[in-house]
Structure 1
Amino acid sequence: MFDFYPPAIFFDGTPFEINRLMVIRFIAVALIVVLFWIGTRRMRMIPGRGQSLLEMAVGFVQSNIADGALGKVDGKRFMPILASMFFMVLAMNLTGIVPGLNLAGTSVIGVPLVLALVAYVAFIYAGIKKQGGNFFKASLFPAGVPWYLYIVVTPIEFLSTFILRPVTLALRLLMNMVAGHMLLVLCFSATHFFLFTAGGFFGLFGIGTLAFGFIFTIFEILVAVLQAYVFTFLTAVYIQLALVEEH
């Protein structure tokens, strides 16, 4: 668990403290910027290999998340924030399986919480932009419910719509990354123990734990991609719910 709270490297004891986890996050963001810069610096009608890969990745977000949840018109409006969110979550998730980094940038609450707040602000903005002040009324007082049931329904709607959505977004991403890191640590720590400490017959167990470590590494890659997709898709769904007249 100490991996999630590394000691400070720079600016110890200040609000700008930088530790190993922050460096990993900087690396992930820098990698995204460099890849997009390389892929878009020489845009051509007949794309090269780098431009094609980048267009495929962006097209995946647009067709499967933005357009899929919001439709083409609203999907185009919110595509920048959804694409940024997807690639940021994906890059920071994948740092958990990169040798030398071995820790997901989303495995501590800061980044998941900030991203959840961004999704929350986008959801509120979309609702107010579309419906004005009626957005909160439609959210808290669903149409067709007898007036006396609003005593029960309205608090539940407030809790589920305005409190639980950002909280569950952040916790879902956080806990998946924490669990994945712990699995990998257990497998490779056990491998090191069986091969280099226990020795002898116990080395056979080390081969098994090493194999499980590689299997869980592949599984962690799938989880990293899936969580980026789920987080971004749920953000798009919440925005879509804010855009409908009655929900």
Structure 2
Amino acid sequence: MNLLVPSANDDGGFHGPTINEFFPDIVLFGGTPFEMNRIMIIRVISMIVLMIIFWIGTRRMKVVPTRMQSLVEMGLDFARVNIAEDILGKKDGKRFLPLITTMFFLVLFMNLTGVIPFFNIAGTSVIGVPLLLAVVAYVVFIYAGIKKNPGNFFRNALFPPGVPPALYIIVTPIEFISTFIVRPITLTLRLMMNMIVGHLLLVLFFSATQFFFFSADGAFKLFGAGTLVFGFAFTLFELLIAVLQAYIFALLTAVYIQLAVAEEH
């Protein structure tokens, strides 16, 4: 199983990253419903590591916490205070905290694999995981709205109060598209495209570095130092993006739920 991305072919020429990197060959269980490529393996490893960390951090809770317990508690407090309760308030924040916390840490861990050596690609850079999480957020958004106001949720969402009746012919289609179609699509694409772009940039810089150092002639080898510096700089930037996109995904999920349970619905 090749977890590294090649940067140059046997002809010695430079070949940049392509979209084919997001569709790697099957390496396990080929020809079965459980076949897995390296991205699927990365996703499974991310989930296992996430569960192990939380299991170790919470299996023996102490008044004076261990380092792992403190780390886990800090992460949980961040999701609770800065996302769930900040957007939904204490009552609804506590109610939807498990969902929001799960989304935040799952997206975060799968994003971080994009900068981990020998993985080199985010588990969220292929549409499966972002789409699944967006569908879950969408279903919970509708569920929360219907449970809050069973008879008025869809009516108030499609026919906002205070709008002149004659304008509903324009407003209602716009509200339907923006609320029930655009939201899950943008939630999916925002996460996926950021991870795709980040991966392509990192592969481009480090592929160029390998090419200049090992295949270029003469003074052209000096360009490898520049691409190496840019590669490390974008690695740090990609770490920031990984955390930021996890935060934004969980935050938008909380915002959509808040809109569903708001009093006007």
Residue 105 (structure 2) pairs with residue 78 (structure 1): no
| Counterpart contact for 1:138–1:245, Cα < 8 Å | no
Query: What amino acid is aligned across from residue 137 of structure 2 in structure 1?
Result: A
2:174 to 146, 153, 156: 156
Following TM superposition, the consecutive aligned residue runs of length 4 or more in structure 1 with deviations greater than 3 angstroms are none
Structure 1 distance, partners of 2:164, 2:31, is 55
Paired position in structure 2 for 1:68 = 86
Structure 2 distance, partners of 1:24, 1:154, is 43
Paired position in structure 2 for 1:222 = 240
Structure 1 distance, partners of 2:55, 2:218, is 52
2:201 to 180, 183, 193: 183
Identity of aligned residues (%): 65
Could you list the runs of 5+ residues in structure 2 that have no partner in the other structure? Answer: 1-18
SS state of the match for residue 27, structure 2? strand
Structure 2 distance, partners of 1:133, 1:19, is 46
Paired position in structure 1 for 2:157 = 139
Higher relative contact order (CA 8 A, sep 6+): 2
TM superposition shift of 1:238:
0.3
Residue 247 (structure 2) pairs with residue 239 (structure 1): no
Question: Deviations along 1:160-180, whole A, 9 cap, x unmatched?
Answer: 000000000000000000000
Residue 191 (structure 2) pairs with residue 173 (structure 1): yes
SS state of the match for residue 215, structure 2? helix
| Counterpart contact for 1:92–1:106, Cα < 8 Å | yes
2:231 to 186, 208, 213: 213
Mapping of 1:24-35 within 5 angstroms?
24-35=42-53
| Counterpart contact for 1:104–1:177, Cα < 8 Å | yes
Paired position in structure 2 for 1:112 = 130
Residue 142 (structure 2) pairs with residue 124 (structure 1): yes
Query: What amino acid is aligned across from residue 120 of structure 1 in structure 2?
Result: Y
TM superposition shift of 1:245:
2.6
Paired position in structure 1 for 2:13 = none
Question: Deviations along 1:18-46, whole A, 9 cap, x unmatched?
Answer: 11110000010001000000001110112
Could you list the runs of 5+ residues in structure 1 that have no partner in the other structure? Answer: none
TM superposition shift of 1:14:
3.7
TM-score, reference length from structure 2: 0.91
More helix by share: 1
Number of residue pairs matched by the alignment: 247
Question: Deviations along 1:184-212, whole A, 9 cap, x unmatched?
Answer: 01000000010000042112100000000
TM-score, reference length from structure 1: 0.98
